[in-house]
Structure 1
Amino acid sequence: MGWIVGHARRHDESQSGKIGLHMDPIALAERLGRWSTGRGPLYVLLARRLRRLVDDGDLAPGTPLPPDRALARALAVGRSTVVNAYELLRAEGRIVRRQGSGTRVAGTPAAARAADGTSAPIFLHLLEPGEGVIPLACAAPTAPPAGLVAAYEAIVPALSAIRGDIGYHPAGIPALRRALADRYAARGLPTTPEQIMITGGGQQALSLLAAVLLGPGGRVVVEAPTYPGALETFHEAGAVPVPLPVGLDGFETAVRQHRPALAYVIPANHNPTGATLPPLRRRRLAEIAATAGVPVIEDEVLADLTFPGRTPPPPLAGFAPATVISVGSLSKAVWGGLRVGWVRAPEAVVQRLARLRAVHDLGGNVPAQLAAIELMPVLDDLCRQRAAALRAGHDHLRRQLLGLLPDWEVPAVTGGQTLWARLPHGDGMSFAQLALRHGVAVLPGAGLDASGGSADRLRLHHVLPQDELTCAVERLAEAWHAYEPSTGSARTPTAMAV
């Protein structure tokens, strides 16, 4: 999110006529997280979370806070909620409010320091799970399948038989690397075990690749919108985004003008839009990248979750094996708690990744990798079962949305886990704040779009059981009927605190 909204921006202070600085209200809304969960008046809950940010040093002395109305719009509350919260903190001496000078954290401004962690909504929904909140923000299987339990039972003899192995394998255990290489070969992409690197999930794969391939100021071509975890990873690496439409239309021009160090694309069952890149477009994209010498990360985490009756296109790496780096994971097809992912790349890149991984954690979880080996022969069956369940959830969620929220635009997709909904008015960020107070967490589109667009979008996943999806849409409908897009606030000042 550091690419999309700055922590402070200049504005014209109407009363003083001077140019000053204030924190972007959307940036602060993200750092507040699930501030409205709990019991009590909203202004008390808001003051409590702001107090914590100040006391923990996340809002440093001298930090200029957003104006009352701007923050109220971002949080989907009435202006009085922000005014009363600010007044509580002013009375406690934590903030200073002056006519014409705005609102600031009390104390002498401190030297800038690096941000600790992330404020992206997708991660805050993991860090701050809300009791009674239906989570439509982070999409992953909600329980391990029986096949995974059986896989762990099957590895006990192999674990007990290990001798002369200290268990540190920075590139992954050889048997799993070989199994994944065979799996790529079966898809028509000849691969050796030396081209496979095992990681602690797809997110770690992206982090390691960013550390190896990017540096501060390096340009990375991304789709707008795209997976927010990738945006956060590239931002942490200090990279500069070059956003293009989904499918990277205009890629050749962008390569010529910006000379990017890297490109990142989700060509199958795109997160969040569900789009799939046709084979001819894949070939052209790979050819452009190969000619320009630009490495392309092909995120295939969702590639095996194409709905029944559809044939997945060939892997992008098949058109340029030396240029395209593939990233995969078992988190969506099997279970997020099975932290096993991988990178398929040229051997030299894998060696660099392994050296970096050795410094970080010496290697991954060996029992999890042994279990992954057991899953390989049945992985296609697991993916087909998972895709069928996702298709049922997709159809059910769309029916509920079209029935209770007919003004929303919710296109059907052919695979993956998410719907990309367009609101007829208002913005996703302020509505997501109101939806949370009605007991459902959704992901606003702005946080997935490095171009600054998608403000009127929401990402909704259809992974949950159908009765929970039904309840979630009912709550969304209640929130929508209370939403005032002109101000971003609710018509009723006593919106439910969950």
Structure 2
Amino acid sequence: MDPIDVAERLGRWSAGRGALYALLAARLRDLIDDGELPAGTPLPPDRVLAGTLAVGRSTVVAAYDLLQSEGRIVRRQGSGTRVAGHPLARPAETTSAPVFLDLLEPRADVIPMACAAPDSPPAELTECYARILPELAATTSDIGYYPTGHPRLRHAVAEYYRNRGVPTSFEQILVTTGGQQALSLLARCFLQPGDRVLMEAPSSPPALEAFRAEAAVVQGISPGLDGFAAAARKHLPALAYVIPTFQNPTGSVLAPLARRRLAETAAALGVPLVEDEVLAELGFPGFSTPQPLAAYSDAVLTVGSLSKTVWGGLRIGWVRAAAPTIARLARIRAVHDLGGDVPTQLAAAELMPRLATVCARLAPERKARHDHLRAEFTRLLPDWHAPAVTGGQTLWVRLPYGDGTSFTQAALRHGVAILPGSGLDPTGDSEHHVRIHYLHPPDRLTEAARRLAEAWRTYRPPARPIPAPPALAI
């Protein structure tokens, strides 16, 4: 593509503060994701684009390197730089994004094991909808716009935290359309292009994409407390993000003492700390859910959701934070969204006092499915390493050879959609891992394991690993 044409498409990309390469990468990312730079489009050489934009060559190189690590472009010696291929544009062996269309538009012949969430509403949820019908029918003088969330649900979520030993007021709760919107609002509120974010490596794909969407520079750290203080002092992050309970994707749980030290260290260093509690209620029988990090510091920003604990179609999430922060988030949300669905929020308010009961009732089934899939792997794929977890929804599987991205494509050709590990890792590591959920009924898990075993039997790793795809799964 002509460098002048690229420059015109980029428009005003250098306004604001932050690293120029991050700003440039952010604008190119938008052009690629919006389809203005289609798959296969050649991009100008580093020096040529740098000269056209009047920036240093290192700025263009760093921007290209960042986009390559995300799987959005491909750079090859002698072939130049091109926009990465679309999953349907080329054969599966060479595509850089193997499963994400199947995540968004599932096919009847594919067993989806990448996007993890309950696939049917529990009886308690339908009962809650029935309970709120009289209240809904009697509603008058209420247009239903609640940018911060319906008061009943905000009070119910605040009570939920008080019952867990975390003093919380109504003003400290913002209701969102799922946990993903909560993460996006926090990213928009706290980040500007070029800001650094500390994030566990590997970690949650939605959070990774939310931070990158704001042109932040994501710095990977080890899950848990190790290295947090040193990384915070070195990188001076604008935000940090952790999953202390059933870490996604590893399933690890941070011990109470480490939780306290992490929360207090972040507060002492002045680093806003986002605590993702979306999976916190998904312990197996006998597991006691630890206190949130917010129990140890008022500066913690807590994200929660009902989509993972109750039903994927129940798009209810929230942020618990200081009241001034909630007010800022509400103003940002109101620009795009004047509030969520009121009937759904009323039903969620009815459900919140019963959330622990619902999760406890469903826990034995999830544990049995976890055990069943691991047993099938032991029987059919004995050289795979799939450690047991004490809760959550997924297994973090290490492959004995090859890479997760190319094997994910092989699995899809055999009718199973799983998630490659490198797309979940801001450092680009974890290429030998895949993430697989175990929420299907046992007979379907057995069939999925059979298909994966057949895919593994015929799998031949490529000469060099395929670049990791953008992390769009949840």
CA separation of 1:357 and 1:461: change in aligned 2, threshold 3 A: same
> CA–CA distance in 1 between the matches of 2:72 and 2:280?
35
Which secondary structure state, in structure 2, belongs to the residue aligned with residue 155 of structure 1? helix
Q: 1: distance between equivalents of 2:394 and 2:258? A: 23
Which residue pairs with 1:245 in the alignment?
Answer: 222
Contact 1:431–1:483, Cα closer than 8 Å, also in 2: yes
Cα gap change, 1:222 to 1:2, in 2 (>3 Å): farther
1:453-492 CA-to-partner distances (Å, cap 9, x unmatched) read: 0101010001111110000000000000001125489xxx
| One of 457, 466, 482 as aligned partner of 2:442 | 466
Per the normalisation by structure 2, the TM-score is 0.81
Aligned to 1:338: 314
Q: Give the one of 176, 199, 203 matched to 1:199.
A: 176
Cα offset for 1:388?
Answer: 2.0
Give the direction of change, closer, same or farther, for the CA distance of 1:8–1:305 in structure 2 (3 Å limit): closer
| Aligned residue number for residue 278 of structure 1 | 255
- 1:147 pairs with 124, 127, 134, which one? 124
In structure 2, the CA distance between the partners of 1:383 and 1:358, relative to structure 1 (3 Å rule), is same
Tell me the secondary structure at the aligned position of residue 186 of structure 2: helix
1:131 positional shift: 2.2
Using the size of structure 1 for normalisation, the TM-score is: 0.77
CA distance in structure 1 between the aligned counterparts of 2:269 and 2:125, rounded to whole angstroms: 42
- SS class of match (1:147): helix
1:371 to 347, 352, 356: 347
Q: 1:7, CA displacement in angstroms?
A: 3.8
Please state if 1:174 is matched with 2:187: no
Residue 373 of structure 1 and its aligned partner are, at CA, apart by 1.1
Post-superposition offset of 1:332: 1.1
Match of residue 164 from structure 2: 187
Match of 1:12 in 2: 77
Aligned to 2:199: 222
User: Hey, what's the Cα distance between the residues in 2 that align with 1:334 and 1:131?
Assistant: 24
Equivalent positions of 1:230-309 (< 5 A) are: 230-309=207-286
Contact 1:444 1:458 in 2 (8 A): yes
- Counterpart CA distance in 2 for 1:320 and 1:305 is 24
Instruction: Tell me the residue number matched to 1:22.
Output: 81
What amino acid sits opposite 1:21 in the alignment?
Answer: G
SS at match of 1:334: coil
- Seen in structure 2, the aligned counterparts of structure 1 residues 121 and 297 have a Cα distance that, compared at 3 Å, is farther
Equivalent residue letter for 1:444: P
Structure 1 residue 11: deviation in Å?
Answer: 3.8
- Contact kept, 8 Å, 2:112 with 2:418, in 1: the verdict is yes
Deviation at 1:74, TM superposition (A): 4.2
**Is contact 1:219-1:242 (8 Å) kept?**
yes
- Gapped runs of 5+ residues in structure 1? 14-19, 36-48, 51-70, 76-118, 490-498
1:405 is the counterpart of 2:381: yes
Aligned length: 400
Q: Is the 8 A contact 1:121 1:447 kept in 2?
A: no
Matched residue of 1:484: which SS? coil
Asked if structure 1 preserves the Cα contact closer than 8 Å seen for 2:406 and 2:462, the reply is: no
1:324-361 superposed Cα distances (whole Å, 9 cap, x missing partner): 11000000111111111110000011001111111111
The 3-state SS of whatever aligns with 2:334 is helix
Q: Distance between the aligned counterparts of 1:433 and 1:441, measured in 2?
A: 8
User: Can you list the C-alpha shifts for 1:129-168, whole angstroms capped at 9, x where unaligned?
Assistant: 1221000010011111111111111111010111111100
Sequence identity of aligned pairs in percent?
A: 56
> Matches of 1:319 and 1:164 in 2, distance apart?
41
Who is 2:365 aligned against?
Answer: 389
The partner residue of 2:427 within 451, 458, 479 is 451
Is the 8 Å Cα contact of residues 73 and 430 (structure 1) preserved in structure 2?
A: yes
Change (3 A) 1:120 1:276: farther
Map of 2:403 onto structure 1: 427
Aligned-partner Cα distance in 2 for 1:122–1:445: 13
- The AA in structure 1 aligned to 2:137 is S
2:169 counterpart of 1:159: no
Query: How far off its partner does 1:264 sit?
Result: 0.5
Unpaired stretches in structure 2, ≥5 consecutive residues: 1-65, 466-474
Note if contact 2:380-2:449 (Cα within 8 Å) is conserved in structure 1: yes
Deviation for aligned residue 1:249: 1.8
Measure how far apart 1:125 and its partner are: 3.3
Distance, in Å, in 1 between the alignment partners of 2:336 and 2:233 is: 35
Asked which structure has the greater CA Rg, the reply is 1
